[in-house]
Amino acid sequence: MGQSYLITDIGESSDKYRLAHGINAAGNVVGECEPTNLLSVNAFWYRNGTNTDLGILPGYVDAYAYGVNDSGQIVGWCDVWSGGERGFLYANGTMKELETLGMLPNVGYSEAYAINRAGQAVGTATLANTSINHAVLYSGSSKQDLGALGGTNYNSSAFGLNNSGVIVGESEVTNSINAHAFS
């Protein structure tokens, strides 16, 4: 006989919808929801039977949480109606912006998808003066361009990492219209 599972509804009666994107070892869940009475999407954190709204970066209208580690650090991104996106790290009740790989603030975009026990986060971010996005590793106050399999002029994104720091994602390669997985 297989393992049994319990499905728990973590939605609120005021939700238009609620999607879960990440979970940690303690069963804390993060994701996005759209309350019925609002025109924006909110990032949420479900723990101990309670949903918490994580807020939104100043100047942005929607927020999406995608990863949570066992320390309760959360990553995701916020966006504006014009299409700009900015990754965030939420820790100790504060949402902090994650920069692009460019040099100018508020230019380009970034997204964060996963965070490990050490607080390292991965995602994708725009390179300086281009529309090219590369997989990125955020560690403390530093950011590292992880490159792309096809070279500098190709896009890549990192979607996960483990507690040993091994990163997985996708990348464009030369002579192909299809993305390839990387580790």
Per-residue pLDDT band at 104 (split at 50, 70, 90): low
Convert the pLDDT of each residue in 105-136 to its tens digit: 556 789 999 999 999 999 999 888 888 999 99
d(CA 79, CA 58): 10
d(CA 154, CA 180): 12
Whole-number pLDDT of residue 75: 98
Give the tokens for residue 10: 């973590």
Could you give the domains of the chain? 99-183 (2.40.10)
Give the tokens for residue 8: 């728990």
Name the residue among 86, 119, 92 with its Cα closest to residue 105.
Answer: 86
pTM above 0.85, yes or no: yes
Name the residue among 21, 17, 45 with its Cα closest to residue 33.
Answer: 17
- CB-based contacts of 159, cutoff 8 Å, min separation 6: 113, 114, 122, 168, 169, 170
Whole-number pLDDT of residue 36: 78
d(CA 64, CA 82): 16
d(CA 170, CA 35): 33
Whole-number pLDDT of residue 147: 94
The label of the residue with tokens 């390179």 reads 127
